[in-house]
């Protein structure tokens, strides 16, 4: 292998199987494949690569600041690295899933990544119910913003620009909450950047990528949105079940009141967490979600 000092540097802006698109410091995008069967790259990785004909070979992945994983019924897969913040889109129509939101917050907390929640379609009557459902999250310190991306685009841009312009932001949200609207609002040449990626992946031979990197200012290569189409669930299987309460701030605040140091917060006497649920200081829905995720983690077999 070539010495690392002799290799070119780059940023992974798209990935499809063992093919990735690497962007050079000058902004050129090149299709690369990975050296070795066990190598893995995700969007956001900083890599060292070398040319091989018209393409390139990724020889080394630089150490990551953080790594996020997604999971389905069968497997867990890494999908984004070196994220500065997560922007979670929710709405009252369709009504957001508290379980999905909680999983996002737990995964980000585990990785040390700050999260903002953006309630879109704030002008709709259903937004009032969404606000009520978000109240426990505001109470535990999650920043919740509100906007109407389609009906108030200028106000939305003014709200989001200072929050996004200097960061790599992973944008998440179920179908229908306005993710595509947000990307097209904040990234003037979003479709052109998609075209660049398709071209770098050889004329759209790979029609979809799991995650895409968009520059907010492509010329200055400043600020970025990462969009993960078809996102289902964050992967949490790397988390130990006993660690889970410490990743949920509303539960964590009451753990010191538990009588037993190894309390699971489900049936033990003198449990500070369950006492807080009974007093209404932890919402019943959050406690239910904790139980569901804990059970899932306990039965997970590696």
In sequence order, what are the residues at sequence separation of 6 or more whose Cβ sits closer than 8 angstroms to the Cβ of residue 59? 1, 2, 4, 7, 35, 47, 48, 49, 50
Nearest to 226 by CA among 198, 187, 199: 187
195 among annotated binding-site residues? no
Residue indicated by tokens 């209404």: 280
270 among annotated binding-site residues? no
d(CA 232, CA 173): 9
17 among annotated binding-site residues? no
Write the DSSP symbol of residue 214. E
179 among annotated binding-site residues? yes
24 among annotated binding-site residues? no
In sequence order, what are the residues at sequence separation of 6 or more whose Cβ sits closer than 8 angstroms to the Cβ of residue 181? 120, 149, 150
174 among annotated binding-site residues? yes
32 among annotated binding-site residues? no
What's the N-to-C CA distance of the chain in angstroms? 33
156 among annotated binding-site residues? no
Q: Give the H/E segment covering residue 291.
A: helix 284-299
265 among annotated binding-site residues? yes
Q: Label the pairing between strands 19-23 and 29-34.
A: antiparallel
Angle at 220 between CA 16 and CA 223, to 5 degrees: 60
5 among annotated binding-site residues? no
Residue indicated by tokens 């009974």: 278
177 among annotated binding-site residues? yes
- Report the binding-site residues for Zn(2+): 258, 263, 265, 271
- Report the binding-site residues: 173-181, 258, 263, 265, 271
- Report the binding-site residues for GTP: 173-181
């Amino acid at each position: 292998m070539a010495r690392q000092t002799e290799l070119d540097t780059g940023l992974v802006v798209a990935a499809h199987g063992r093919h990735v698109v690497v962007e050079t410091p000058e902004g050129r995008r090149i299709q690369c494949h990975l050296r070795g069967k066990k190598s893995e790259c995700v969007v956001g990785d900083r890599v060292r690569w070398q040319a091989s004909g018209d393409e390139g070979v990724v020889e080394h992945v630089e150490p990551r600041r953080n790594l996020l994983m997604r999971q389905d019924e069968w497997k867990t897969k890494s999908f984004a690295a070196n994220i500065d913040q997560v922007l979670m889109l929710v709405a009252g129509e369709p009504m957001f899933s508290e379980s999905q939101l909680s999983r996002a917050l737990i995964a980000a907390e585990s990785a040390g990544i700050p999260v903002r929640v953006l309630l879109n379609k704030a002008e709709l009557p259903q937004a009032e119910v969404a606000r009520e459902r978000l109240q426990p999250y505001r109470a535990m310190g999650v920043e919740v913003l509100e906007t109407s991306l389609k009906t108030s685009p200028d106000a939305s841009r003014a709200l989001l620009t200072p929050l996004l312009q200097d960061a790599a932001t992973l944008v998440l949200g179920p179908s229908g909450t306005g993710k595509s609207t947000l990307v097209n609002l904040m990234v003037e040449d979003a479709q052109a950047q998609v075209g660049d990626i398709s071209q770098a992946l050889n004329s759209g031979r790979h029609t979809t990528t799991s995650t895409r990197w968009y520059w907010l200012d492509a010329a200055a290569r400043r600020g970025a949105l990462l969009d993960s189409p078809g996102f289902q669930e964050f992967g949490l299987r790397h988390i130990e079940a006993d660690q889970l309460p410490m990743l949920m701030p509303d539960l964590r605040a009451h753990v010191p009141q538990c009588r037993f140091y190894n309390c699971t917060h489900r049936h033990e006497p003198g449990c500070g967490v369950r006492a807080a649920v009974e007093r209404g200081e932890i919402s019943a829905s959050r406690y239910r979600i904790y139980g569901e995720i804990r059970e899932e983690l306990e039965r997970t077999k590696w």
